[in-house]
Structure 1
Amino acid sequence: MSKVLRDWKKYSVLAVLVLQNSALTLTLHHTRVRPVDGNGRYLASTAILLVEVIKLIVSFGLSFHETCRNHPSDSPPKVLTRLFKEVFAGDGWKLSVPAVLYTLQSSLLYRAISNLNVATFQVTYQLRILTTALFSVLLLRRQLSVTKWLALFLLTFGIAVVQVPEASLRAKSLLSLLSPHEETSELMVRDEKVKRTMAIPGPAMNASLGLAAVLAASVTSGLTGVYFEKVVKNPSVTVSIWTRNIQLSFYSLFPALFLGVIYTDGQEISKNGFFVGYNSLVWTTIFLQVLGGFTAGLCIVHLDNIAKNFALCVSIIVSLLFDIYVFGSSVPINFVFGAAIVMFALYLYSRQLPLGK
């Protein structure tokens, strides 16, 4: 019975992650491509900061509730003291590492998409699937059979084929994978794609620089995800996932505020306001990103980063299917071919052992 319950939790988390990321991709596309009421698009940096603030508040509330339940005799001030020590004592500082790495990754991705065409960027960036597996072997000592490596190579190839933009879809669907904190990079990358689609002139591209940046971003993506998993699953430290989310969101606030809001968009915010371009759909997008952060964290706890990558690849296919249905476009042959490869890779990877084992 306990095994059935554990399996139910695992696949429920995967299902929610697929649905959440599919919905997020569609709302991101709509809010970034279509300005609201003539006021222009909202600033990505403000949305990123709000995501971290909301995650911090929600994580704190859940962690406070969990601590009260585990220590029913403690008064609220004592619970707060206990929670404060849990967040900032011990190995909590280790979560500052992925916070910094996520900021570096965002910068690399912006540099990459600014110097590469969309197709090259999308295809090359799928290498993060393989870097995630490689760091899982190196840092977590996870053993992957030849069959599983083959499945991962097929997954990388299949999702790259799916994401090669067709001329008829390029202006309609600008999609890519999201990891727990890749909301930052996704928004900046989407801005650049929108400019390309609208034929807004930009600086000359340097393909060599762009390729180096996207390869470095792929490595950083794999490293940050696996590093977070290593900290969360450390058997010598018993800390809840909600406390880990507090730590990660707290350390992420600093680059989001100082590098994003103040340094990047400070002048525009002082001129037009913090909430320029916001509406109900923008807030929906923000809350979907918050949900995505929590769901990805639970996926890492109950499964692993590799299983999370499979779920995110499936969500891309779901998003594109919905996009094709809404716009009434014919199904591109590259989509059919790539989706078939992704599904076969999923079957191949899960055939020997359940996901997450």
Structure 2
Amino acid sequence: MSDPSIRFGAFTIPIKYLSLAILVIQNSTLVLTMRYSRTSEGPMYLSSTAVVMTEAIKLLTCLVIIFFEENLSVAATLGLLHREIVAKPDETAKMGVPSFLYTLQNNLLFVAVSYLDAATFQVTYQLKIITTALFSVIMLGKRLTRAKWIALVVLMVGVALVQLPPPKATEELPARSENNGGVVPADAAGAAGRKLNGLELTADLPEQHLRRLLAAIPANEKESDAELAVAGDDAGAASGSFIGLMAVITACCSSGFAGVYFEKILKGTQASIWVRNVQLGLFGAIIGIIGAFYQDGAAIAENGFFQGYTTVVWLVILMQAFGGLLVAVVVKYADNILKGFATSVSIVVSSIISIFLFGFHPHMAWNVGAGFVLLSTYLYSLPDAPVDQIRRSNV
């Protein structure tokens, strides 16, 4: 049986690949927009309320789709919802697990993009491929080939390289050369060389003399207020990066389990994918509202539910809602691991745009790590059938 497809004139495109291509575009633009919304000037919106609105819009969209599928009949739509949701409480209750995990994941993603640049977030978030693969093996009984396991290891190494801190630029005294005759200009010696315990150096000094003076200063006196401030900024940046990393790792675990759980439910039932998303949306909206008022109840009471909302924030919400439905289509017609690897292609797009939009400057370890992630995508996409045929021919 051939895969479901859509015709565009003389071309026929399988829904599986069309949905994957759209997912790549959606992921690239979403993470950049999320990052921009969390770093732009002005009052900051509450991410917990954005998650609630995402679930509400997703729920409303699914209801509209079901309404059209039922030939614009309100009675038929209500009848379907009653049969599939109200009359099957056990089936509906099953959706509470992935719904809770998806809501948790969405909240964590807002935390992550607040502390990590868009490109680093995109690369690190691909760890969900590993968690998805492991849960697929455990829960769905899938068997991964050696190439796929190698791809997962390469992916893990790539993400680790991306997380390495960039090398710090160090101010060194210029080396002795024929041009300077062994003399270090005062303006090239840096702050410590120009000012020694309040003594300004206004003339060039012999290199050896200057080095002896610098060595004679106690270490604690060499650190200027500016250097201490930089050290404090570095510590704060490291702490923020750690928070962002932990948020991403937790979101990856949540995403992996929820995605495989949802895939198992979708492929083991005859219920419409849109009905399943209505169930997800119902649980998600309820859980999200409880979480929003528990986490930000005081802020909501003081400044309102929609405080800090701008056009960009609404765009993020709409894109998240659209992406959630798109993921459901992907896992229905493709599979959850293939979805994860297709998403990693968006790293290239996000990285390039981040350079121009956010002034992102990737260092060597980041470039190598991102290359490893893309290599893992290629390794995983290698077909299994030819490998099996080669093995059989050699027997």
Instruction: Give the TM-score normalised by the residue count of structure 2.
Output: 0.67
Once residues 261 and 285 of structure 2 are traced to their aligned partners in structure 1, the CA distance between those partners, rounded to angstroms, is 19
Change (3 A) 1:319 1:98: same
Structure 1's 166 and 16: CA in aligned 2 closer, same or farther, altered over 3 A? Answer: farther
State the alpha-carbon separation in 2 of the partners of residues 21 and 115 from structure 1.
18
Partner of 2:151, secondary structure, is helix
Identity %: 43
User: For the residues of structure 2 that align with 1:353 and 1:25, how far apart are their CA atoms?
Assistant: 32
Shift of 1:332: 3.0
Offset, 1:17: 0.9
Task: Tell me by how many angstroms 1:119 deviates.
Answer: 12
Query: Structure 1 stretch 101-110 or stretch 214-223: which is displaced more?
Result: 101-110
Match of 2:78 among 77, 80, 89: 80
Match of 2:262 among 219, 228, 236: 228
SS for the counterpart of 2:53 is helix
Deviation at 1:157, TM superposition (A): 2.6
Q: Give the 3 Å change call, closer, same or farther, for CA 164–22 of structure 1 in structure 2.
A: farther
Equivalents in 1 of 2:121, 2:358: separation in Å? 24
Read off the aligned partner of 1:248 and give its amino acid letter. L
| Residues 35 and 277, structure 1, Cα contact 8 Å, conserved in 2 | no
What SS does structure 2 have at the residue aligned with 1:276?
Answer: coil
- Partner residue, 1:42: 45
Residue type of the alignment partner of 1:306: I
Looking at structure 2, the residues matched to 214 and 284 of structure 1 have their Cα atoms a distance apart, in angstroms, of 22
- What residue is the counterpart of 2:208 in the other structure? none
In 2, distance between residues paired with 1:110 and 1:65?
33
- Indicate if the aligned counterparts of 1:42 and 1:276 stay in contact, CA closer than 8 A: yes
Contact 1:123/1:163, CA 8 A, preserved across alignment? no
Alignment of 1:201-216 (within 5 A): none
Quote the offset at 1:210 in angstroms.
10
Q: Equivalent residues in 2 for 1:1-357 (5 A)?
A: 2-3=2-3, 5=5, 8-36=14-42, 40-68=43-71, 76-90=74-88, 91-103=91-103, 127-162=127-162, 164=164, 166=166, 218-234=252-268, 237-260=269-292, 262-326=293-357, 331-353=362-384
Q: For the structure 1 residues 294 and 163, does the alpha-carbon distance in structure 2 shift closer, same or farther, using more than 3 Å as the test?
A: farther
Q: Could you tell me how far apart the structure 2 residues matched to 1:208 and 1:79 are? A: 47
**Structure 2 residues without counterparts, runs of 5 or longer:** 7-12, 169-231, 386-395
Change (3 A) 1:8 1:159: farther
1:99–1:248 contact (8 Å) kept in structure 2: yes
Distance 1:33 1:208 in 2: 18
**Deviation at 1:58?**
0.4
Question: For residues 250 and 360 of structure 2, what CA distance do their matches in structure 1 show?
Answer: 35
Q: What is the distance in 2 between the residues matched to 1:121 and 1:23? A: 13
CA-based RMSD: 4.0
- Residues matched between the structures, number: 312
For residues 264 and 328 of structure 2, what CA distance do their matches in structure 1 show?
12
Instruction: State the alpha-carbon separation in 1 of the partners of residues 158 and 114 from structure 2.
Output: 25
Secondary structure, counterpart of 2:305 in structure 1 = coil
Match of 1:184 in 2: none
Range that drifts further, 214-223 or 298-307: 214-223
Alpha-carbon distance in structure 1 between the residues aligned to 2:92 and 2:320 = 23
2:271 counterpart letter in structure 1: V
Structure with max Cα Rg: 2
> For the residues of structure 1 that align with 2:114 and 2:318, how far apart are their CA atoms?
28
Match of 2:224 in 1: none
Give the superposition deviation at 1:92: 2.0
- Cα shift readout 1:34-89 (whole Å, capped 9, x = no counterpart): 133xxx111111111111110000001102222338xxxxx532431222321333
Tell me if the contact between 1:64 and 1:83 (Cα under 8 Å) persists in the aligned partners: no
The structure with the largest strand share of the pair is 2
State the 1:5 CA deviation.
3.0
Write out per-residue CA displacement over residues 152-200 of structure 1, whole angstroms, 9 at most, x where no aligned residue: 22223324434556489xxxxxxxxxxxxxxxxxxxxxxxxxxxxx969
CA distance in 1, matches of 2:321, 2:60: 11
* Contiguous gaps of at least 5 residues in structure 1: 70-74, 169-197
